[in-house]
């Protein structure tokens, strides 16, 4: 199986590269910065792996980079700025698409804009393949299947204190989103139910001096 990892140079991208290598799959590294792709290849021992440069805004370059692969794993976040473009190019290149997005608006956008295109191309688009989203979606689906007349379900994913990568810090609620957009956050897991997963829960002190209630340590500024 041929797999292209887009955003291969980031923290998650490197984890995915390492896992693919562990499974005996030599991935193609794709991203916007060739120097950073080389660094990632060196760091993960994939010295001879193919590298393809494509900016997220360049549909033709992305489709070219993905052509010949069976699947694209998108690790380039914040996904609000990459998911639709990368997924659309994957579909046009005939590749399945998976990402690690936890940004609800970007996830919803993929379902809203690319579902029929993916169906037409005979490929799967699987956003939100993360420890937070997959488990919460499954739980929401199970609960929804057992209860009648749910209007809204809130799920919470607790993350203890710790560092966050550049992209993870930026992937908080998109600054540009409006309150009306926020009210529309949903995933399709529990059909007919507005399911608003909170990908990460901060302690609510907004980086102030109060303690994080999770483990009693100081809250980091997110
Ligand atoms: N870290 C986690 O545990 C975790 C867990 C779940 C979900 N996520 C999500 O996964 C995403 C990646 O996280 P990360 O920790 O790997 O972040 P990271 O280390 O900052 O890496 C971000 C990656 O995305 C690329 N990128 C960013 N903006 C781009 C753009 N506009 N066009 C093309 N490439 C772009 C970067 O390319 P350059 O190297 O060229 O800058 C880099 O490869 C984030 O959205 C994060 O919220 C992270």
Last residue of a domain, one of 103, 126, 149: 126
State the number of CA atoms in the 13 A half-sphere of 37 facing the CB: 23
Identify the pLDDT of residue 190: 35
Give me 78's structure tokens.
């914040």
Please indicate whether residue 36, judged by its CB atom, sits closer than 6 Å to ligand 1. Answer: yes
Share of residues in the chain with pLDDT > 70 (%): 71
- Report the pLDDT value the prediction gives residue 75, as an integer from 0 to 100: 97
Residues 118 and 136 in one domain: no
Instruction: Tell me the C-alpha distance between 84 and 181, whole Å.
Output: 17
Q: What is the mean pLDDT of residues 31-38?
A: 97
Query: Which residues are registered as beta bridge partners of 31?
Result: 53
- CB of residue 127 inside a 6 A radius of ligand 1: no
- Which residues, 6+ apart, have CB-to-CB distance to 157 below 8 Å? 132, 135, 136, 197, 198, 199, 200, 201
Q: How far does the centroid of ligand 1 lie from the alpha carbon of residue 90, in Å?
A: 18
pLDDT in tens, 98-129: 999 988 789 889 999 999 999 999 999 999 99
For residue 123, report the distance from its CA to the centre of ligand 1, in Å: 24
Domain that holds residue 190: 131-198
Do 90 and 181 lie in one domain? The reply is: no
**Residue 203 within a domain:** no
Is 122 in the same domain as 142? Answer: no
Q: Give the domain CATH number at 119.
A: 3.40.50.720
Alpha-helix runs per DSSP H in the chain:
11-22, 34-43, 59-66, 83-92, 104-121, 131-146, 166-170, 179-182
Same domain, residue pair 31 and 47: yes
Distance CA 85, CA 170 (A): 18
Distance 12 CA to ligand 1 centre (A): 7
pLDDT tens digits, 139-173: 888 988 898 888 888 777 776 666 666 666 555 54
Enter the pTM of the model: 0.79
Residue 131 CB less than 6 A away from ligand 1: no
* Shared-domain flag, residues 99 and 158: no
Same domain, 122 and 158: no
Residues 44 and 100 in one domain: yes
Both 112 and 181 in one domain: the answer is no
Burial of 136 (0-12, 13-18, 19+ CB in 10 A): buried
Token pair 């900016």 is found at: 55
From the alpha carbon of 14, which atom of ligand 1 is closest?
Answer: 16
Mean pLDDT of 83-101: 97
């Amino acid at each position: 199986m041929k797999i292209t990892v887009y955003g291969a140079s980031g923290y998650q991208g490197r984890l995915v590269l390492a896992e693919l290598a562990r499974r005996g799959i030599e991935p193609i590294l794709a991203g916007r910065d060739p120097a950073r792709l080389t660094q990632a290849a060196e760091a993960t021992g994939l010295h001879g792996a193919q590298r393809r440069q494509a900016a997220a805004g360049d549909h033709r370059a992305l489709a070219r980079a993905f052509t010949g692969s069976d699947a694209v794993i998108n690790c380039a976040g914040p996904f609000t700025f990459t998911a639709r473009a990368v997924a659309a190019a994957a579909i046009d290149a005939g590749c399945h698409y998976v990402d690690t997005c936890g940004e609800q608006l970007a996830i919803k956008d993929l379902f809203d804009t690319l579902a029929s295109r993916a169906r037409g191309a005979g490929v799967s688009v699987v956003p939100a393949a993360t420890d937070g989203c997959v488990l919460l979606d499954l739980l929401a689906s199970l609960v929804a299947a057992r209860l009648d007349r749910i209007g809204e379900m809130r799920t919470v994913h607790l993350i203890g204190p710790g560092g966050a990568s550049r992209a993870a810090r930026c992937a908080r609620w998109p600054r540009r989103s409006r309150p009306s957009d926020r009210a529309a956050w949903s995933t399709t897991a529990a059909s007919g139910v507005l399911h608003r997963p909170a990908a990460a829960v901060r302690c609510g002190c907004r980086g102030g001096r109060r303690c994080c209630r999770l483990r009693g340590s100081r809250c980091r500024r997110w």
